[in-house]
Each structure stands twice: as C-alpha cells, then as structure tokens.
C-alpha cells in the first residue's frame, strides 16, 4: 500500500494538541526520515513490532504496512483521538495506553524475536534500553532513534566505555544506521539524532548471576570513573584493598586502570572472576 505522508501541523491543529516538553515530545514529521527508519529496521511480513512512543501514528502506519502486527505504546492520552483516527484503517495495529517502563514486554508477546522500534526521549534512554534488554520475552532487534551523542557513546565511537555502552554490548551488537537532522522533528530539538540498531544475541554474553554482578561492578566503577578500579571497587569487597588487587590481577587487569579504558573482554573477565570468588 502506498501511504500518503501525515501532515503533523494539521493534525496538531485539528485535535488542538501541543507537544509536551515534560514528555520529551518531538514528532518526526519528515516522511523520508520515517521511511529511513522502516528501512533500517528490516521489518518484513512475518515480523511482530513493538513501537514505543507512537505519537501521532506517522511511523506506526508505515510499520503496519510492512509488518505482521504492530503493538504501539503511547503514554500521552491526549494523543489518542488523533492516533486512533489515523490508524483506524489498519487491522494489524494494537494501541496500548501506558508507560513502557511499567509494561513488561512478556505481557504483550508470548515468544522471543519481536522488533522494537522507538524514538526515545533523552531522559529515559538508559532506563528504556535496560527494561527491554532484561525482558523475559526478548526482542531480536532494537531500532532506536536517539540523540546523536548518546548513540555514539553506546557504540564506543571515542573508544571509551560507559555504563550505557557496556549495558548494551553484553546483550548485542550496536551500530548507527542513519542520521536524522533536528529540523526533521516538530518542534526541532537542539541536537541531531541517530538511528541506533542493536542486533541482540540469542543469549547474553553473561549468565543472570554474572549480569547482576556486572551491574554491581559497573555502577561502583562508573560512579567514580575518575578513580582507579583498585579504589572504586573496594566497597564491594569489604574495603579489602588486597582482595581487589588480587581480583583485578586474576582477570588480567592493571589495578590502576580506570573503567572507561577497559574493553568488553576485560569487563567480562572481571565479572567472571568476581562471581566465582
């Protein structure tokens, strides 16, 4: 089906709507940018899609035109009259009113392998990503439109590990697939966006117990990232400096290293030694 672009300004006027700053609302109004996201997602006839932040339905319609089904979550109840109107012709769109952080994906899907497509406000980026990655029913791919700088941090563009990049890398392989200029949104944000695609492993690189320890270690380290690991990790080992040094040495890591300079392999070794102690 060939879909005509939605005219966002006209919809806002018709339904007397205004973008809510408190919800980080910036509606993607450029049709070519929307098509780019659909292309980057690789969505096809057999795919089940979870869309987070349906907004006014511009992307929802395009996804439904390609996918088996689209479950679209929107937190802003004021948008629903417009959203229900523009998605009404599609029998494979299921609208859900609510906050994704309060909705376990396993209540929406019975099997792994769905696609997640979302335009995430900066202030909940980390929380949404972790919520999705830790779901009992797991997606196969995340396609996330986010601030350019955040996407670059996740893929380690500057070769400095962050808590967010580490959180993603143990679950899958991230890449930036497209750039979306700020002027494609209404209202235009202050920064450009990137489309980040994360292809998830069938199983994370760590066990559930090891994953818990990873986040204990990472939070302790990155909360004091200017400190050397031999100092920032001491509270996790009862303040025993010798135990910290031994743990780091067994993992093949210099005690004077800082968290941002560790590779993914080094973090994994550290977690395995810490968990097995």
- Give me the CATH number covering residue 269: 1.10.8.100
Grouping H, G, I as helix, E, B as strand and the rest as coil, residue 109 is coil
212 and 111 inside one domain? no
154 and 242 inside one domain? no
User: What's the token pair of residue 163?
Assistant: 């808590």
**Strand locations in 169-226, DSSP E?**
172-180, 185-186, 193-200
Q: What is the mean pLDDT of residues 97-112?
A: 97
pLDDT: is 225 or 275 the higher one? 275
Total structural domains within the chain: 2
Of 162, 180, 200, the residue at which a domain comes to its end is 200
User: What CATH number is attached to the domain comprising 183?
Assistant: 3.40.50.150
161 and 235 inside one domain? no
106 and 213 inside one domain? no
212 and 264 inside one domain? yes
pLDDT digits (tens, 9 = 90+) for 197-249: 999 999 999 999 999 999 999 999 999 878 899 999 999 999 999 999 999 99
Rounded Cα–Cα distance for residues 135 and 172 (Å): 14
Of 142, 175, 200, the residue at which a domain comes to its end is 200
* In a domain? residue 3: no
* In a domain? residue 2: no
Of 200, 234, 266, the residue at which a domain comes to its end is 200
Rounded Cα–Cα distance for residues 57 and 96 (Å): 13
The half-sphere exposure of 67 on its side-chain side, counting CA atoms within 13 A, is 29
Domain enclosing residue 252, as ranges: 208-276
Cα R_g (the chain), whole angstroms? 21
pLDDT digits (tens, 9 = 90+) for 47-83: 999 999 999 999 999 999 999 999 999 999 999 999 9
């Amino acid at each position: 089906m060939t879909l005509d672009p939605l005219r966002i300004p006209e919809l806002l006027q018709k339904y007397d709507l205004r973008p809510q700053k408190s919800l980080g609302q910036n509606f993607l109004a450029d049709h070519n940018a929307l098509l780019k996201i659909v292309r980057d997602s690789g969505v096809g006839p057999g795919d089940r899609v979870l869309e987070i932040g349906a907004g006014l339905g511009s992307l929802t319609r395009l996804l439904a035109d390609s996918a088996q089904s689209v479950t679209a979550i929107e937190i802003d109840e004021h948008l629903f009259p417009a959203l229900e109107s523009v998605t009404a012709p599609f029998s494979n769109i299921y609208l859900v009113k609510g906050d994704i952080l309060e909705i376990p994906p396993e209540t929406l899907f019975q099997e792994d392998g769905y696609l997640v497509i979302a335009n995430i406000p900066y202030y909940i980026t980390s929380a949404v990503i972790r919520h999705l990655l830790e779901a009992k029913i797991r997606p196969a791919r995340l396609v996330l439109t986010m601030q350019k700088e955040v996407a670059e941090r996740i893929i380690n563009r500057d070769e400095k590990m962050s808590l967010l990049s580490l959180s993603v890398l143990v679950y899958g392989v991230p890449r930036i697939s497209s750039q979306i200029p700020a002027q494609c949104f209404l209202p235009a944000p202050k920064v450009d966006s990137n489309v980040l695609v994360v292809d998830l492993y069938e199983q994370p690189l760590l066990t559930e117990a090891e994953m818990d320890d990873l986040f204990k270690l990472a939070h302790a380290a990155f909360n004091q990232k200017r400190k050397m690991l031999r100092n920032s990790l001491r509270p996790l080992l009862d303040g025993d400096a010798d135990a910290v040094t031994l743990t780091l040495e067994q993992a093949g890591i210099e005690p004077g290293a800082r968290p941002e300079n560790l590779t993914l392999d080094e973090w994994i070794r550290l977690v395995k030694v810490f968990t097995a102690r």
